[in-house]
Amino acid sequence: MKMTATTVRRGLYGMLGGGLMGAAASATIALPTANAAPATCTANGVANTVNSVSASIGDYLETHPDANQALSDIAKQPAPQADASFHAYSAGHPQIANDLRNIQRPLSDLNTQCGIQVSPSQVVTAFQAL
């Protein structure tokens, strides 16, 4: 079975989207109930942030086919090997790593601001580790 770029992209986006939806549901359950919490700390705020980051990553990978292919290949590896490969790819492509880090920054800010841990997917979690 030959995998086309569209099939790989859909699989990667599905992995990102599925992880993001699971994280949004998990984060909603764990949201703090403080009255002074910022609006983004609501279930709606978490879901909107997660969706925005997911869409931005998808858009970025769409316009950077080499990064899309490399990260797609890395995502197919077993976890320990994928982690090492991702770090090696990031070290060799610092601008892409920086771009992706900036794209996921709203999730880091949400984690800090709301005191919740949002881990949308293995790929985005790897970006957070950069």
For the entire predicted model, the pTM comes to 0.61
- 64-80 confidence digits (pLDDT tens): 999 999 999 998 988 88
State the angle between helix axes of 79-92 and 65-75 in degrees (0 to 180), rounded to the nearest 10.
160
| Under 8 Å between Cβ of 42 and 101 | no
What domains does the chain contain, in order, with CATH numbers? 39-128 (1.20.20.20)
What is d(CA 104, CA 93) in angstroms, rounded to the nearest whole number? 17
CB contact at 8 A, 89 and 83: no
Q: Say which residues have a Cβ less than 8 Å from residue 28's Cβ, sequence separation at least 6.
A: 43, 46, 47
Sign of CA dihedral 3, 58, 123, 13: negative
Note the pLDDT of residue 42: 84
Checking if the pLDDT of 19 tops 90, the result is: no
- Asked whether 128 and 104 are in contact (CB, 8 A), the reply is yes
Predicted confidence (pLDDT) per residue in 38-52, tens digit = 567 888 888 888 888
pLDDT for 125 equals: 56
